[in-house]
Amino acid sequence: MHRFTRTVLVLVVVTAIAAALGASGRAKTGRVTTVSDHRGGTLKLLAKSAAGTLDPMINYTLAYWQLYQASYDGLLAFKKAGGNEAFTVVPDIAQSVPTPTNGGKKWVFKIRKGIKFSNGKTVKPTDVAASYRRIFKVKSPTSGTFYAGIVGAKACLAHPAGCTLKGGVIANDKAGTVTINLVAPDPEFKYRVSVPHASILPANAPSKDSGSKPIPGTGAYYFASYNPNKALVMKRNPYFKQWSAAAQPDGYVDEITESFGLTDEAEVTEIENGQADWMLEQPPSDRLNEIGTKYASQVHISPLTAFWYVPMNTNLPPFNNLKARQALSYAVDRNATIKIFGGTNLATPSCQVLPPGFPGHKDYCPYTKNPGAHWSAPDLAKAKALVKASGTARQKVTVVSSDDAVNKAVAVYLQSVLNQLGYKAKVKPISANISFTYPQNTKNKVQINVQQWYQDYPTASDFLYVLFGCESFHPGSDSSINMAGFCNKKINAKMHQALKLAVTNEQRANTMWSQIDRMVTDQAPMVTLFNPKHVDFVSKRVGNFTFSKEFYWLVAKSWVQ
Partner 1 sequence: MLRFVFRRMASALLVMFSLSVLVFLIFFATPGADPVARIAGKNANQQTLREVRKDFGLDRPMPVQYGLMMKRLFVSRDLISTATRDEVVPQVVEAAPITFSLVLGAAILWVIFAIALGLIAAVHRGRTLDAVVMIVGLIGISMPVFWVGEVVNMFTQSRLHDTFLFSWVPPLGYVPLTESPIGWFKALLMPWLTLSILYIGLYARVLRSALVESQEEDYVRTARAKGLTERRVLFRHSLRTSLITFVSLFGLDFGALVGGGALLVEVVFNLHGLGWLTYQALQQFDLPVIMATVVYAAFFVVIVNAAVDLVYALLDPRVRHA
Partner 2 sequence: MSEAAASAPALVGALPSGASPWKLARRRLLRNRLALFMLGVFVAIVLLSLAAPLYAHDVAHTDPFRSHLDGTTIVNGKSVPVMPQSTGGLGIGATPIGPTWDLHHYFLGADNQGRDVAARLLYGGRNSLLIGFFAALITCLAGTLIGVVAGFFGGITDGVISRVLEIVWAFPVYLFAICLSVILVNQDFVFGPVRIGSGSIALPIMIIGIVYIPYVARPVRGEVLSLRRREFVEAAIGLGASRTRLLRKDILPNVATTVIVLFPLVMAIAMLTEAALSFLSIGVQPPDASWGTIIQDGKDLIRTRPAVALAPGLAIALTVLALNVLGDGIRDALDPRAKVRGIR
Q: What is the DSSP letter of 200?
A: -
Distances (CA, A) of 545 to 44, 70, 81, 268, 279: 15, 15, 11, 18, 14
The two beta strands, 396-402 and 448-449, are parallel
Residue selected from 154, 230, 369, 445 as contacting partner 2 according to rule CB under 8 A:
445
Q: According to CB under 8 A, which residues from 85 to 144 bind partner 1?
A: 139-144
Q: Using the rule CB under 8 A, is 432 a contact of partner 1?
A: yes
Amino acid identity of 251? G
Angle at 5 between CA 2 and CA 11, to 5 degrees: 140
- Considering beta carbons, is residue 59 or 313 the nearer one to partner 2? 313
Residue selected from 6, 113, 166, 230 as contacting partner 1 according to rule CB under 8 A:
230
Q: What is the DSSP letter of 196?
A: G
Residue 444 Cβ vs partner 1, minimum distance, rounded to whole Å: 6
Across 68-107, b (16+ Cβ under 10 Å) vs e yields: bbbbbbbbbbbbbbbbebbbebbbbbbbebbebeeebbeb
Instruction: Select from 9-17, 53-61, 144-152, 406-414 the region that touches partner 2 (CB under 8 A).
Output: 406-414
Helices then strands, each counted (H, E), the chain: 14, 20
Residue 223 Cβ vs partner 1, minimum distance, rounded to whole Å: 14
**Interaction pattern, residues 369-398, with partner 2; x per rule: CB under 8 A:** -----------------------------x
Instruction: Select from 73-81, 241-249, 292-300, 456-464 the region that touches partner 2 (CB under 8 A).
Output: 292-300
* Nearest CA-CA partner of 106 in 194, 193, 169: 169
Q: Which does 144 bind (CB under 5 to 8 A by kind): partner 2, partner 1, none?
A: partner 1
Cβ count near 439 (within 10 Å): 25
Instruction: Select from 124-132, 204-212, 240-248, 280-288 the region that touches partner 2 (CB under 8 A).
Output: 280-288
Residue selected from 278, 413, 423, 551 as contacting partner 2 according to rule CB under 8 A:
413
Query: Which residues touch 443 (CB under 8 Å, ≥6 apart)?
Result: 476
Residue selected from 1, 157, 299, 393 as contacting partner 2 according to rule CB under 8 A:
299
Residue 455 C-alpha from the chain's centroid? 5
Q: According to CB under 8 A, which residues from 521 to 550 bind partner 2?
A: 535
Across 304-321, b (16+ Cβ under 10 Å) vs e yields: bbbbbbbbbbbbeebbeb
Q: Using the rule CB under 8 A, is 401 a contact of partner 1?
A: no
Residues that bind partner 1 (CB under 8 A): 49-50, 52-53, 58-60, 139-145, 148, 157-158, 160, 209, 211-212, 227-230, 261-263, 265-266, 269-270, 272-273, 275, 430-434, 436-438, 440-441, 443-444, 466, 474, 477-479, 481
- The residues of the shown chain that bind partner 2, judged by CB under 8 A, are 284-294, 296, 299, 301, 333, 335-336, 339-340, 342-346, 398, 400, 403, 405, 409, 411-413, 415-417, 419-420, 426-431, 434, 438, 444-446, 535
